[in-house]
Structure 1
Amino acid sequence: MTKKNIFSLDNKVIVVTGGTGVLGGHFVNAIVQAGGIVIILGLNEERGNAQVEEIKLNGGEAIFLKVNVLDELQLVDAKERITQKYGKIDGLVNAAGGNVPEGILNPDDDVFNLNIEGMKEAMELNLWGTIIPNQVFGPALAKTGNGSIVNISSVGSKRALTRVLGYSMGKASIDYYTKWFAVEMANRYQDSIRINAIAPGFFLSEQNRNLLTNPDGSYTSRADSIIRQTPFKRFGKPEELAGALVWLLSDASKFVTGMDIGVDGGFTINSGV
């Protein structure tokens, strides 16, 4: 008797916002490798089309749609195009987010003169860039009877990190929203749709590279401090998020909702002693 692989994403249609980013790109690859059909949403059209071409050359299936996650009309149009082509949407990964330069407090900046607009922009991108796609795609996921949403949190929502206030507030809001929305959806749809979050530790990406590396590629003092406080004594590799992601999107996590899964090399549980 052949047993079903409950970790498989075969024939599942998964939407990934921010799919052209560093972490988003790895999420896309993980979904394809698990057998899923991936819909890449992002603003980098050149990168998105290149990803699709590479996936197809390797026998996978993907499409790219240029979409701003803060534009509800663009998201609605994307949903209609996806459902017309595939007839369903099984999963949504909200990988769009990150920091913005205006939302960073530099060491010499006056703490009583925060760039409020920059902080708002960082928080809006992370929080509303997650909530709005859920509002648009959620009903289609619920119709499948087994929909799964994966939000992206951060260790910045668990421990106070200097300099990145707007980003951290956005991620902390995602933590609460994930729990709240899980309960509200369950009250209305029972187990037809679930929502969880992954909280990555420190991974080098385009958004944080200037904070963590010098022009010559060496680590900054901030990066050294992070490494010291991470029990594994290294940054994470983007592909190390794949297991948690595929599990949350697959049938293996059908009784899991409202959870925040840390993938951080032990950073958030380390007391430093």
Structure 2
Amino acid sequence: MNLFDLKGTTSIVLGGNGVLGGALSEALGAHGSRVAIVGRDMDKAEEVKRRVEEAGGEAICLQADVTKPEDLEQTRQAVLDWSGSIDTVVNCSGANSATPFLEIEMEEWDRIMDVNLKSVVLSSQIFGKQMIAQGKGGAIINISSVSSGPPLSRVFTYSASKAGVNSVTQFLAREFAPHDIRVNAIIPGFFPAEQNRKILSEERIASIMSHTPMDRFGKPEELQGAIVYLASRKASSFVTGTLLRVDGGFGAMTI
């Protein structure tokens, strides 16, 4: 059990007020990490905080727009004032759209790229500098998607942004390795997140299930083992630059 003991650490979960971010926040808190739940919807964040506390953890809710560096700087300072350090950063904010490629307006492109990719770069800069200054290593964990490659139809901008997340993850793994900061990504399959529900027709669900050997959607709690593993210095001390699939076998299918 000591392999997965996160006591004495502080985790920031950007997008922690969402379905998947909430499950990740609960897992980190249940294993002893203090959790800063960051998002724009404070009602949902407070609900996640309640669940973290019910599981025996400690949490704080912080409102921020993850695409704005000034908001992330304020988040950094608020977390330091609260707990004194930053040990794990989870980039879980997400936006999606089913707009056909030829109809995509640049406003939509920019919005999705900002939320899904720009926020990862900004948070890695701002919180990464803090972890380097602390001098005790840490973990950055990015939430990617099976649509990052090969790309799925009808989600062009989302797929491109998540492919970017994979690339940024592996680049930053090299960048931060000298500082003992591990940078990894989780590649979830299809989970009942809010942005997925809006674009999944019955036909599309049938197509997805035909390419998922386990023949079902994932449950948010099925991501919890992966996040605790990657956050734990003991369990994953030599793991960086990894893209860890939790997708029911979707990535194993070639046709």
Identity of aligned residues (%): 40
What are the superposed Cα offsets for residues 202-232 of structure 1, whole Å, 9 maximum, x if unpaired? 111111102225xxxxxx1000110011011
**2:217 alignment partner in structure 1:** 235
Bigger Cα displacement from structure 2, 114-123 vs 89-98: 114-123
Q: Contact conserved, 2:93 with 2:116, CA < 8 A, in 1? A: yes
SS at match of 1:199: strand
Find the aligned partners of 1:55 and 1:26 in 2 and give their Cα distance: 9
Which residue is 2:239 aligned to? 256
Partner of 1:205: 193
**Contact 2:30 2:55 (C-alpha < 8 Å) held by counterparts:** no
* Structure 1: gaps (5+ residues): 214-219
Partner of 2:208: 226
Residue 77 of structure 1 deviates from its aligned partner by: 1.2
Deviation at 1:42, TM superposition (A): 0.5
Tell me the equivalent position of 1:32: 29
How many equivalent residue pairs? Answer: 253
Are the counterparts in 2 of residues 55 and 62 from structure 1 also a CA contact under 8 Å? Answer: yes
Shift of 1:53: 3.4
Of 41, 46, 54, 1:44 maps to 41
Residues 1:160 and 1:59: Cα distance change in structure 2 (over 3 Å): closer
Amino acid at match of 1:140: Q
* Structure 1 pair 62–227 and aligned structure 2 pair: CA distance change class (3 A): same
Which of the pair has more CA radius of gyration? 1
**For residues 99-131 of structure 1, what are the alpha-carbon distances to aligned partners after superposition, in whole Å with 9 as ceiling and x for unaligned?**
1xxx4225xxxx534323212221221000111
Give me the TM-score of the superposition, normalised by structure 2. Answer: 0.94
8 Å CA contact retained: 1:119, 1:165:
no
CA distance in 2, matches of 1:58, 1:198: 23
**Residue of 113, 125, 139 corresponding to 1:123:** 113
Aligned mates of 1:66, 1:38 — CA distance in 2: 14
Aligned mates of 1:54, 1:239 — CA distance in 2: 13
Residue in 2 that maps onto 1:268:
251
* CA shift in 2, pair 1:144/1:37, >3 Å: farther
The counterpart of 1:155, out of the listed 142, 146, 160, is 146
Q: Determine if contact 1:149/1:196 at 8 Å carries over to the other structure.
A: yes
Structure 2 counterpart SS, 1:123: helix
1:146 matched residue in structure 2: 137
